[in-house]
């Protein structure tokens, strides 16, 4: 029996993967990879490596999570070194915890290789620091889709009042409800908000507005996008470093795997 590496590939920019994550790709016998990884990372694998696509989009899952868990165990029990390559960080809305639980239950050796999550990277590439001494001393990473079985009104009341900056994953389709609930539970309608689409890639697009008008302004923005809510969004006006970089040199557009 070999080992499984659950690796965070980062948010899209191929250079944002960790050194350890890159080594796990190069040494893998089998790589199970997700939809949002940069496909250039697969070029770093051994010529003999086997690839298994595990991509999930909001309306289409190529494999169920149960199937993915089973494949990880099957390949490892065959004595293969397995790298599970996931976008962002595997433990931040990446279901890496579920995969690790299954491996632990089967007594299969594994390692977690953290990655840069889009909740930090996408705002950074858009010129938005998620914390700032003058604007925000707290940040919360939440998902626009919750399966915790909690009362939604209580949940959003807590979210609206608990943190200065909100980084919201998987929230584009629910943007109207998110904006409405945040306002209803105490956030100023003029609170700045940004959507960063395909953050850190050549296709990055950032749309800003307020809770009151963002639904109209961002009506054409699709997944994958990170939503950032808070006063820190104001800093984008002076910190748009990535747009300046793109203007100075052509940056390749992101290619979707699968």
Active site residues: 34, 56, 170
Cα distances from 188 to residues 132, 192, 231, in angstroms, run 19, 9, 11
Identify the three-state secondary structure at position 149.
Answer: coil
CA distances from 4 to 51, 78, 95, 108 (A): 14, 12, 15, 8
**Percent helix / strand / coil, the chain, rounded to 5:** 35, 20, 45
Residues in a beta bridge with 207: 195
Q: Residue 240 and residue 198: Cα distance in Å, rounded? A: 16
Helices (H) and strands (E) in the chain, counts: 8, 12
Consecutive H or E run containing 102: helix 96-105
C-beta of residue 42 within 8 angstroms of C-beta of residue 34: no
Give Cα 40 to chain centroid, integer Å. 18
């Amino acid at each position: 029996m070999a080992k499984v590496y659950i690796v965070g590939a980062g948010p899209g920019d191929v250079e944002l993967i960790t050194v350890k994550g890159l080594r796990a790709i190069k040494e893998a016998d089998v790589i199970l990879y997700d939809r949002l990884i940069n496909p250039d990372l697969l070029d770093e694998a051994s010529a003999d490596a086997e690839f298994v696509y595990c991509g999930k989009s909001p309306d289409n899952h190529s494999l169920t999570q149960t199937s993915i868990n089973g494949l990880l165990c099957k390949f490892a029990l065959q004595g293969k070194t397995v790298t599970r390559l996931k976008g962002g960080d595997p433990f931040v809305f990446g279901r890496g915890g579920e995969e690790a639980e299954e491996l632990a239950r089967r007594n299969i050796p594994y390692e977690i290789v953290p990655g840069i999550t889009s909740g930090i990277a996408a705002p950074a590439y858009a010129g938005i620091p998620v914390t700032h001494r003058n604007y925000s001393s707290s940040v919360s990473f939440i998902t626009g889709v919750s399966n915790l079985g909690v009362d939604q009104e209580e949940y959003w009341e807590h979210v609206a009042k608990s943190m200065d900056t909100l980084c919201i994953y998987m929230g584009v389709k629910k943007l109207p409800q998110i904006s409405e609930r945040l306002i209803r539970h105490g956030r100023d309608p003029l609170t700045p908000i940004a959507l960063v689409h395909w953050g850190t890639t050549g296709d990055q697009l950032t749309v800003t507005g307020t809770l009151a008008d963002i639904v109209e302004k961002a009506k054409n923005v699709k997944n994958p996008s990170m939503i950032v809510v808070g006063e820190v969004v104001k800093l984008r006006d002076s910190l748009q470093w990535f747009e300046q970089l793109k203007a100075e040199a052509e940056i390749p557009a992101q290619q979707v795997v699968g």
